[in-house]
């Protein structure tokens, strides 16, 4: 498991696990917080107000301690602390009639209780903070019911969740509600006047299974996949001060379910559920205390296309695989591939029992080829990124992490299992664009001036390795193959990306080292000053260019900049794959001397941007890419969706007509066609359809529609042949 050091990992789409272990903790005296809660207008004390203490560094809106005011509006909350401990806290309060506020905070927060830092207070073990008073303004609540659409019966213990209307941050569960036996609810605490997104979901029996198999829903009549809704496309509920907004009713539709059994029974197992686009929805963890259990399941699904990943909890000799039998042996595996599962809304699907097979693992060390010791300048206790395991065809099939210990000694940490066979092992990882010689998304340190290499001692120009000079590593079932990799120093390239008009540096944009044919050899991102540096490269001829709307690898959502690209040394601008490196200046490295390129000046221009929308729901899909072609069929670029806003954006483009092809996964196809004028140069997206977009000197917004093939097939089965 990687060291949790790089904030860039927040860019990765997926589920993170956080294990907090407190071995041998010495508990000290409890700390106490006291104060009075009053009405801001009258100054009168508020009885029955809820006061919450939270850790502002902990993102989830789960206070670690709460209390209630007495008839005089006073509260006193004590909580345990470790001996000698000091911690930061924030104190917030709300009541059924009063909107929340934070002590000492005069601005507005995107949500309560605890939605990030602001007005923190430090408290030590055994201390008491007094006079922590908060004055509250009137607020409002909401009320309604949650019923089953098929029976009309109320759903008990359904959960109402409240999200702020603009930022769409979720309020603590204290501001939501659980339904009564008849399905009715009234939210617990008031919120400030305004517009809010509301989600209703069935009661959880045992995560991720709902006690009642119904589909979660956002107001108004917008179904969600396990309460994951694109809230920006749902309606809001208006709440006023001093009143309760009523009749916020939900009728939940019956859910679809997928289940199965996973052997062997003696190991902990993780079963991941992905939607048709390959976005992780949830997981089923068969824990050690549940063994020898093998059964797993998911319910409350909307229905449509899904992918299931089945595997062990930890990195061990058992192979992870998809439901369709395709192996998925590493974190960079593309889950949305091959045949998806399809299940209609409200239906159930039981998969055949699956037994995990055994593969083998790789681990090892990296040493300096000249000294046979620790490479010079190796950082201590560092994350150096990842390494790739490559099959005979040159395809990356697995990988692991590279880290150092307190002495700087470098380890290839044990990989996830790969099928038995012979493989190449390379220090460069394509998933994050990790070079061992420069800091990137997946690493927090680098081996300054060292080149990437392939086992045992062949230097590589980034991902470009001479496989004929390398040696394969034999991997056998149930065993770990250990290797010693030798690396050497080379030449580095550095420079700065700036705006041509303002000379301001551009941070977090992508720069590539390419060969004369334009193939990427190494990729990195600029820092806050617009500076970039490529880890060392062997002697040879190279070109450097920007990639203003692209990604460093599958593990990165991609950057979105409204600029043309620039090849170092070229006089003009270009756009992604239309850039010819030969228009620029060739960089000749001798393998020992570094090259400083100075500024790469980029010019702003018009772009095409938008979303990929699912039909018929209209929801934006947050995962996938858009392939762009010229009117003559030349490939321009592949533009990944930004995971956080579900949008794509091209690099700046010259005026013309372009064909845009949404490429989500094998589970989706485009809704409209170009009428036969399809690109022929790449053929990557698959179906013969796309969208024509014309751009001039101004940017263009273009949303692209796709349909889940399973839903489309069900529609055709039901309605084909009718008038």
The chain-wide mean pLDDT, for the chain, equals 90
Per-residue confidence (pLDDT) for residue 554, from 0 to 100: 86
pLDDT tens track for 86-124: 999 999 999 999 999 999 998 888 899 998 889 999 999
Distances (CA, A) of 435 to 516, 536, 594: 21, 9, 17
Per-residue confidence (pLDDT) for residue 27, from 0 to 100: 63
Closest-CA residue to 269 (of 299, 303, 308): 308
pLDDT tens track for 439-469: 887 788 999 999 999 999 999 999 999 999 9
Confidence category of residue 360, pLDDT binned at 50, 70, 90: very high
CATH number, domain 31-136: 2.60.40.1120
Higher-pLDDT residue of 12 and 418 is 418
Per-residue confidence (pLDDT) for residue 672, from 0 to 100: 65
CATH topology of domain 256-355: Immunoglobulin-like (2.60.40)
Per-residue confidence (pLDDT) for residue 716, from 0 to 100: 47
DSSP 619: P
CA dihedral 402, 408, 409, 415 (to 10 degrees): -20
Radius of gyration of the chain (CA): 28
Taking the C-alpha atoms of residue 520 and residue 515, their distance in angstroms, rounded to an integer, is 7
For the chain, the structural domain boundaries read 31-136, 141-252, 256-355, 361-487, 491-602, 608-711
Per-residue confidence (pLDDT) for residue 26, from 0 to 100: 60
Per-residue confidence (pLDDT) for residue 22, from 0 to 100: 40
CATH topology of domain 141-252: Immunoglobulin-like (2.60.40)
As a whole number, mean pLDDT of residues 32-49 equals 97
Position 13 pLDDT exceeds 50? no
Per-residue confidence (pLDDT) for residue 682, from 0 to 100: 36
Distances (CA, A) of 137 to 99, 156, 163, 195: 6, 32, 19, 17
Mean pLDDT check: name the lowest of 246-260, 479-493, 578-592, 687-701. Answer: 687-701
Mean pLDDT check: name the lowest of 2-16, 63-77, 120-134, 180-194. Answer: 2-16
Confidence category of residue 366, pLDDT binned at 50, 70, 90: very high
CATH topology of domain 361-487: Immunoglobulin-like (2.60.40)
Per-residue confidence (pLDDT) for residue 323, from 0 to 100: 97
pLDDT tens track for 256-311: 999 999 999 999 999 999 999 999 999 999 999 999 999 999 999 999 999 999 99
C-beta separation of 263 from 356 below 8 A: yes
Per-residue confidence (pLDDT) for residue 40, from 0 to 100: 96
Per-residue confidence (pLDDT) for residue 59, from 0 to 100: 63
3-state secondary structure of 75: strand
Beta-bridged to residue 658, according to DSSP, are 630, 693
Per-residue confidence (pLDDT) for residue 578, from 0 to 100: 96
Residue 719 host element (H or E) = helix 709-719
β pairing state of 491-499 and 595-602: parallel
Domain 608-711 has CATH 2.60.40.1120: yes
Q: Which CATH class is domain 491-602?
A: mainly beta
pLDDT tens track for 464-476: 999 999 999 999 9
Position 10 pLDDT exceeds 60? no
Higher-pLDDT residue of 14 and 573 is 573
Position 208 pLDDT exceeds 90? no
Per-residue confidence (pLDDT) for residue 292, from 0 to 100: 97
The pair of structure tokens assigned to 495 is 């420079």
Mean pLDDT check: name the lowest of 152-161, 513-522, 593-602, 614-623. Answer: 614-623
Cis check for the bond before 220: say yes or no (omega within 30 of 0): yes
Which strands sit side by side in the sheet containing 656-663, from one edge to the other? 635-640, 625-630, 656-663, 691-695
Per-residue confidence (pLDDT) for residue 444, from 0 to 100: 80
Same fold, 361-487 and 608-711: yes
Per-residue confidence (pLDDT) for residue 712, from 0 to 100: 61
Position 233 pLDDT exceeds 90? no
């Amino acid at each position: 498991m990687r060291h949790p050091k790089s904030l860039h990992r927040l860019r990765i789409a997926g589920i993170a696990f956080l294990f907090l272990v407190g071995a041998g903790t010495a508990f000290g005296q409890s700390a106490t917080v006291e104060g009075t809660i009053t009405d801001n207008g009258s100054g009168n004390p508020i009885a029955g107000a809820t006061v919450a203490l939270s850790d502002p560094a902990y993102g989830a809106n789960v206070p670690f301690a709460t209390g209630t005011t007495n008839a005089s509006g006073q509260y006193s909350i004590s909580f345990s602390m470790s001996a000698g401990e000091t911690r930061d806290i924030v104190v917030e309060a709300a009541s059924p009639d009063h909107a929340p506020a934070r002590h000492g905070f005069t601005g507005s927060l995107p949500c309560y209780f605890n939605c990030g830092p602001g007005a923190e207070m430090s408290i030590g073990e055994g201390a008491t903070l007094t006079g922590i008073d908060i004055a509250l303004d009137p607020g409002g609540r909401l009320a309604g019911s949650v019923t089953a659409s098929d029976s009309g019966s109320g759903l008990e213990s359904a959960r109402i969740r409240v999200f702020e209307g603009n930022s769409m941050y979720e309020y603590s569960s204290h501001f939501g509600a659980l339904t009564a036996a008849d399905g009715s609810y009234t939210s617990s605490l008031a919120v400030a006047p305004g517009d809010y997104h509301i989600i209703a979901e069935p009661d959880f029996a045992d995560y991720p299974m709902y006690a009642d198999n119904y589909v979660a829903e956002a107001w108004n009549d917008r179904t969600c996949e396990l309460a994951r809704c694109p809230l920006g496309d749902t309606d809001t509920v208006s709440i006023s001060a001093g009143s309760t907004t009523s009749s916020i009713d939900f009728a939940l539709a019956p859910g679809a379910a997928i289940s199965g059994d996973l052997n062997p029974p003696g190991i902990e197992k993780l079963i991941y559920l992905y939607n048709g686009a390959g976005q992780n929805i949830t997981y089923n963890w068969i824990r050690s205390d549940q063994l020898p259990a093998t059964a797993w399941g998911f319910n409350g699904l909307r229905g449509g296309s899904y992918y299931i990943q089945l595997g062990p909890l930890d990195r061990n000799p058992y192979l992870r695989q998809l439901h369709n039998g395709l192996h998925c042996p590493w974190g960079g595996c593309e889950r949305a591939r091959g045949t998806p599962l399809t299940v209609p809304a409200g239906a159930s699907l039981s998969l055949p029992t699956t037994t995990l097979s055994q593969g083998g693992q790789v681990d090892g060390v990296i040493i300096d080829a000249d000294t046979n010791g620790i490479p010079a300048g190796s950082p201590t206790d560092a994350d150096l990124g990842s390494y790739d395991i490559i099959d005979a065809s040159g395809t990356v099939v697995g990988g692991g992490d590279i880290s150092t210990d307190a002495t700087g000694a470098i380890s290839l940490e044990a990989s996830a299992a790969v099928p038995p066979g012979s493989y190449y092992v390379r220090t460069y990882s394509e998933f994050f664009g990790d070079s061992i010689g420069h800091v990137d998304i997946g690493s927090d340190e680098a081996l300054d001036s060292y080149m990437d290499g392939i086992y045992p001692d062949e230097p590589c120009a980034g991902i470009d390795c001479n496989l004929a000079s390398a040696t394969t590593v034999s991997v056998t079932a149930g065993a770990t193959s250990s290797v010693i990799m030798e690396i050497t120093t080379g030449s580095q390239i550095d420079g700065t990306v700036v705006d041509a008009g303002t000379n301001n540096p551009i941070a977090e944009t992508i720069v590539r080292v390419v060969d004369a044919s334009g193939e990427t050899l190494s990729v990195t991102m600029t820092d806050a000053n617009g500076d970039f540096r490529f880890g060392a490269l062997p002697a040879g001829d190279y070109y450097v260019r920007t990639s203003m709307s692209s990604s460093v690898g599958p593990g990165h959502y991609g950057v979105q900049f409204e600029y043309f690209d620039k090849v170092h040394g070229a006089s003009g601008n270009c756009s992604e794959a239309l850039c010819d490196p030969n228009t620029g200046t060739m960089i000749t490295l001798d393998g020992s001397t570094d090259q400083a390129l100075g500024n790469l000046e980029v010019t702003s221009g018009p772009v095409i941007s938008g979303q990929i929308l699912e039909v018929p729901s209209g929801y934006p899909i947050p995962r996938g890419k858009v392939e762009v072609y010229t009117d003559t069929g030349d490939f321009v670029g592949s533009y990944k969706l930004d995971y956080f806003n579900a949008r794509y954006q091209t690099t700046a483009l010259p005026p013309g007509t372009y064909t845009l092809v949404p490429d989500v996964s094998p589970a989706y196809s485009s809704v409209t066609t170009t009428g036969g004028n399809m690109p022929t140069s790449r053929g990557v997206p698959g179906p013969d359809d796309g969208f024509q977009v014309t751009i001039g000197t101004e940017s263009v917004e273009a949303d692209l529609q796709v349909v889940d093939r399973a839903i489309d097939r069900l529609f055709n089965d039901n309605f084909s042949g009718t008038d």
